Structure 1
Amino acid sequence: MSTRPRPEYPRPQFRRETWTNLNGEWRFAFDDGNAGLAEGWQNATAAGLEDSHFDRAITVPFCYQSKLSGIGETAFHDVVWYARTFEHSPGDDDGRLLLHFGAVDYRATVWVNGAFVAAHEGGHTPFSADVTSALREGENVLVVRAEDPSRDATIPRGKQYWKEKSEGIFYTRTTGIWQTVWLEPVNRRRVGSLRLTPDLDRASLDVEARIEGFRPGMTLRMVVLFDGNEVLDDRVAVTSPMVRRRLPLIRHGVAPDTPHLSRWPGANLWSPEEPNLYDLSLDLVDADGETLDSVESYFGVRKIEARDGEVFLNNRPYYQRLVLDQGYFPGGVLTAPTDEDLRRDIELAKEMGFNGARKHQKVEDPRWLYWADTLGFLVWGEMANSYQYSEDSVRRITAEWQEAVRRDYNHPSIVAWVPMNESWGVPDLGTDPVQREHLLALYHLTRSLDGTRPVVSNDGWEHALTDLCNIHDYRDAEALAGTYATPESSVSATPAGRRIYAPGHGYRGEPILVTEFGGIAFAGEEGGWGYSTVANSDEFLERYEAMIDALLACGPVRGFCYTQLTDVEQEVNGLLTYDRKPKADLNRIRAITAKERP
């Protein structure tokens, strides 16, 4: 492991060459009396950091609750502070310095040299600030205040428990910084954001690039490469702050000239079996020919669609064999100790025959999505939910979910959006029409942000309008076989005592998937919890095979998601232990998971 934790570039789909990683040791303080603001902790100086209120050291990007932070304390501390110094040398007049946070849970306020530079609400999504005006030549002081109300049920918290001791399906909380912090020098005139929409049927790539500091005379150059070979070189005059350009891939040799692109012989499409990726470079050039900004990205040509009771990948029916992935790590809690740990989780899942995952109740680190794109792994992007309905919860989930969808839009691996799980945060869907309107609004909001992927209104049960009919059912193989034999029996089921559709809504022919089942734990795991238990690996494999066989034989079922990839703390129903050791032979698991449908 590098001496600097998580040293890799944190934003793989929007890369610049020059950056500074701020992970590592910071000064840290608990503020249980919430006195820091009044006492002026934000005005800390470099000379006084060691002797000030910042009386602890913490290793960023790990939360204080994690062992890797160097603290490892799980008691409630709702307000925490961070501080560190960094060096700065002024550049030319057009130079700016951006400060980026991958994620800070839950509310963050940021100062540089005592000057306020940023505030953000939302524990799973990134934010940035232009800190140029607050800088001094030489040593600068960065201070962060994070507030994370431990018991507030209206905050989108996912599996983070609101009690001090984890139990059942709820785990250790994450407070404060938990993804990489970094500095990025840029030009004031630059590419601000990038949205890429491959269109398989038209064999094109739609590019939307937002230009910061627009002025007439600029040109945007876009170069597409595959396997290191240039296949497209396009230049467009920048006439407004938003550049919209359709790149015709057929004409440039990326695809053969045929309307039936899913039948290309040797076509370079993206799928779990062949995760082909194209590299994309962008250069923003001024009227004098000077390069103002250079950005590197990538994309995959793939299409996902739900229609006629079927899920289609690249215009062909595709059976999804998913595993539930909570995204927790021993030592790091929500933060993977290393980039290799993120990669290895996907490799282990693929070794067991799975072609994708529901990333459950967590907006995952972009590095994990990069590995999903690169290795070929379907992803259902899911929001961390709250547990109480109120105007505050509506505002919070709506704002943060939009940020999550925008952040991850370009990833070819993401094939579905899940804003809500099992009516969490909307517990009275059956009786409260207002909560049903909120569920419906989230569906339409997500579709308005991204019309290219299916949206699941409420994974598990009590769906409103939805593109996929997903059902959670932890009963045995015999019950699964009987329940999901026909569409009618599937949608009339009441798993966990809940109806599949909320009042006023019903089945409209959506593809049916069983997206939670199994949850088998091994008996004798002291203090452990699972949905059912077995005595040993042979009994597990027998029960697992019976469940998989039952679902594969159910005609209406177009995919499944097994609970779950790994144990997490006291929840011990993983295929792997918490430290990623297999509980049964991976080849035998794969032989079952990857069985063909009868």
Structure 2
Amino acid sequence: MTYRQEYPRPQFVRKDWQNLNGVWGFAFDDDKIGTQQKWYKQASDAFDKEIQVPFAYQTQLSGIHDPSFHDVVWYKREFDVPEDWQDQRVILHFGAVDYRAWVYVNEQFVGFHEGGNVGFSFDITDELVEGKQNVVVKVEDPSTDETIPRGKQYWIEQSDSIWYTRTTGIWQTVWLEAVQPTHLSKLRFTPDVDKGAVDVEFELAGDFVHKNVQFEISFKGEVVINDQITTQSKNTKRSFDLYNHKIFRTSFHHDGWNWTPENPNLFDVKITVRDQDEVLDVVDTYFGMRKVHTENGMVYLNNRPYYQKLVLDQGYWQEGLLTAPTDEDLKKDIELAKEMGFNGCRKHQKVEDPRFLYWADKLGYLVWGECAASPSYSEDAAARLTKEWIEIIERDYNHPSIVAWVPLNESWGIPNVRDNRQQQNHSLAMYHLVHSLDTTRPVISNDGWELTKTDICAIHNYNHGGKDETAKYAQYQEDLATKEAILAAKPAARSIYANGFEHEGEPIILTEFGGIGYKVGEDAGWGYTSVANAEEFLEDYQRIMEAVYSSKILYGYCYTQLTDVEQEINGILTYDRKPKCDLAKIREINDMWHPRTI
């Protein structure tokens, strides 16, 4: 069986593409001799294994399933280029490769990329030959290096506590695409809900002067914009007035055309690039009219206060680790969370597959975007995280489902941020960097504690205690009750703000709590508190939620967590996505107090 055959980039769709997932040749290079011995040569006999791409060698679905350290690995496969691509440029895309990748096509080096979270591509047209093509990828992923953004991937071989099995190498789809020399290369939609318009910015690669770019924008099957722009430069900007169209004046009221979790309305867009009568490029995409901002201590969605009921989502699967076995698995996670009454997730320490964000857009599901952190601080670590975030925002800017960015978490990578000015400056730099790239979303400077400048005061508190620890629970209620109590508490022996910083009126949201451990079957593991059966799980869930909902200052939460992951058995679902209790009861508790909008 060949996995993950769906189109990998749903916000930028072209018809001419070819999926390269499937069986590749594979080799470990523990002695780091592959480059010297020229394993990128087609005659190399070093590839003694096979691997199922896009699954890392540590996973079951890869066919190798080896969790031990192998810091350098190699991939190899042959492919054909369709005959009707002969007069086009051929682009080789990698969805994500962890951590450093060197790519060779037909024995020629075509490019290098560092960063394990976001994709990259190379134009390989000039390296193509007659007949079969050959691609070789060398990957280096230093298993014990604590200065690379590794998130939950443990730098010790055996998983433990909150740390999981590593992902090395290709872990998202590899694919080919055919384009004309002049084609659409960048595209950004910025909705302006207040004006009823969408600002569009795009770039053309190749000969970009005096090309005609047509935008056909549709809503629920009816064309609302059909406009053509003649380019004068590489980068072009245009604003389209949507809400003055007759469909909106006669058929809708209030924000019936805006995007929300309850009504995930999307505008479909077809972009056609022409040189006079010749069609050079056609791209299908979409956007959502959605505004998020903070005001009066609350988060607003489309100018209305919106109570966020999020669930922490690690994005791990038992058979594929960071890679979902199927596209349906990505969709199913969102459907299960919505079934439980959650309206979004905090995607924790992972930049998720674009297919997940596509389903979040389509189904109506808020996402807090986060990136894998490095465990330790260094100047190199700071530079690496900065580079990753530039790429993340460029890739994911257009998703209406993403409503917040979280560049740092629990002082990971900045362990001395409470007092250390250099690390505080890194936190501030990340906050301002993200805002310099995206002015439309809140940024959380250091989710959990020791915040610097931030748009949301995001705090973590697991100190609810067991059902018999009444004094601890009473303290938990007290610590969440008011702004003064929350800001004075030190739930992990860490102050809420770093020295020299203080709360400036931003919304306060409890972004990690709960984590009830419940063992199902033979799985051993841990949680922040423990219960013995489904009935006790629901009782404990309601007990914790009562403390959250009784707070006079919290305007949202993120419960830990959606699923079990390896030794963590604190999910509402098991690792293979089976409910631990009646999900309708979870929804009943989630819906008991605040509605989704207030």
Task: Verify same fold: TM over 0.5.
Answer: yes
- Which residue of structure 1 lines up, in the alignment, with residue 245 of structure 2? 252
> What amino acid sits opposite 1:435 in the alignment?
Q
Q: SS of the counterpart of 2:51?
A: strand
- What secondary structure is seen at the aligned counterpart in 2 of 1:70? coil
> RMSD over aligned Cα, in angstroms?
1.6
Tell me the SS of whatever aligns to 1:220: strand
Q: Normalised by the size of structure 1, how large is the TM-score? A: 0.96
CA contact (8 A) 1:88 1:137 kept: no
- The Cα shift of 1:94 comes to 5.4
Q: 1:488 aligns with which of 463, 466, 484?
A: 484
Which stretches of structure 1, 4 residues or longer, exceed 6 Å deviation after superposition? none
Q: Distance in 1 between matches of 2:59 and 2:241?
A: 48
Within the candidate set 343, 347, 361, 2:335 is matched to: 347
Say if 1:553 and 1:597, in contact at 8 Å, map to a contact too: no
Which of 509, 515, 522 is the aligned partner of 2:505? 509
Query: Which residue among 398, 406, 428 is the counterpart of 2:386?
Result: 398
In the other structure, the counterpart of 2:468 is none
- Kept in 2: contact 1:203–1:255 (CA 8 A): no
Aligned to 1:16: 14
Report matched runs for 1:420-435 at 5 Å: 420-435=408-423
Report what 2:567 is aligned to: 570
Residue 258 of structure 2 corresponds to 269
Equivalent residue for 2:37?
39
Residue 480 to residue 97, structure 1, CA distance change in 2 (3 Å): same
CA gap of 1:134–1:469, structure 2 versus 1, over 3 A, is: same
Q: Cα offset for 1:266?
A: 6.3
**Structure 1 CA distance, aligned partners of 2:257 and 2:375?**
43
1:249-274 residue CA offsets vs partner (Å, 9 max, x unmatched): 1233464399xxxx934621110001
Contact 1:98 1:129 in 2 (8 A): yes
| Match of residue 531 from structure 2 | 534
What is the correspondence of 1:55-454 to structure 2 with a 5 Å cutoff? 55-88=48-81, 95-253=88-246, 255-256=248-249, 264-265=253-254, 267-286=256-275, 288-454=276-442
Q: Distance in 1 between matches of 2:165 and 2:243?
A: 50
Q: Distance in 2 between matches of 1:285 and 1:367?
A: 29
Which of 542, 546, 551 matches 1:545? 542
Question: What is the CA–CA distance in structure 2 between the aligned matches of 1:107 and 1:526, rounded to whole Å?
Answer: 34
**Aligned partners of 2:331 and 2:63: how far apart in 1?**
24
Match of 1:590 in 2: 587
Kindly provide the CA deviation profile for residues 93-126 of structure 1, in whole angstroms up to 9, marking residues without a partner as x: 8510000000000000000011111110000110
Report the CA distance between 1:491 and its aligned residue. Answer: 1.1
Q: Point out the more displaced range, 123-132 or 249-258.
A: 249-258
- TM-score (ref. length: structure 2): 0.96
Aligned-partner Cα distance in 1 for 2:561–2:362: 22
**TM-aligned CA deviation for residue 523 of structure 1:** 5.3
In 2, distance between residues paired with 1:253 and 1:208? 25
Q: Aligned equivalents of 1:285 and 1:339: distance in 2? A: 34
Q: Which amino acid aligns with 1:467?
A: D
Aligned pair in 2 of structure 1 residues 526, 139: CA closer, same or farther (>3 Å)? closer
Structure 1 alignment gaps of length 5 or more: none
**Equivalent position amino acid for 1:146 in 2:** V
Secondary structure (helix, strand or coil) at the match of 2:358 reads helix
1:424 aligned counterpart, secondary structure? coil
Partner Cα distance (2:334, 2:63) in 1: 27
Q: Paired residue for 2:475?
A: 479
Superposed CA deviations along residues 8-43 of structure 1, whole A, max 9, x for unmatched, are 000000010110000000000000000000000112
- Percentage of matched positions with identical amino acids: 55
Letter in 2 for 1:284: V
> What is the SS of the residue equivalent to 2:175?
strand
Distance 1:487 1:365 in 2: 36
Shift of 1:91: 5.6
Structure 1 match to 2:514? 518
Shift, 1:549, TM fit:
1.7
State the alpha-carbon separation in 2 of the partners of residues 196 and 55 from structure 1: 47
Which deviations, in whole Å up to 9, do the C-alpha atoms of 1:34-59 show, x marking residues without a partner?
0000000112x2xx46xx10110000
Quick one: distance in 1 between partners of 2:235 and 2:22?
37
CA distance in 2, matches of 1:488, 1:545: 25
Q: Separation in 2 of the partners of 1:580 and 1:478?
A: 33
Aligned to 2:80, the other structure's residue is in SS state strand
Tell me which amino acid in the other structure corresponds to 1:271.
T
Unaligned runs of 5+ in 2: 465-472
Separation in structure 2 between the aligned mates of residue 217 and residue 593 of structure 1, nearest angstrom:
55
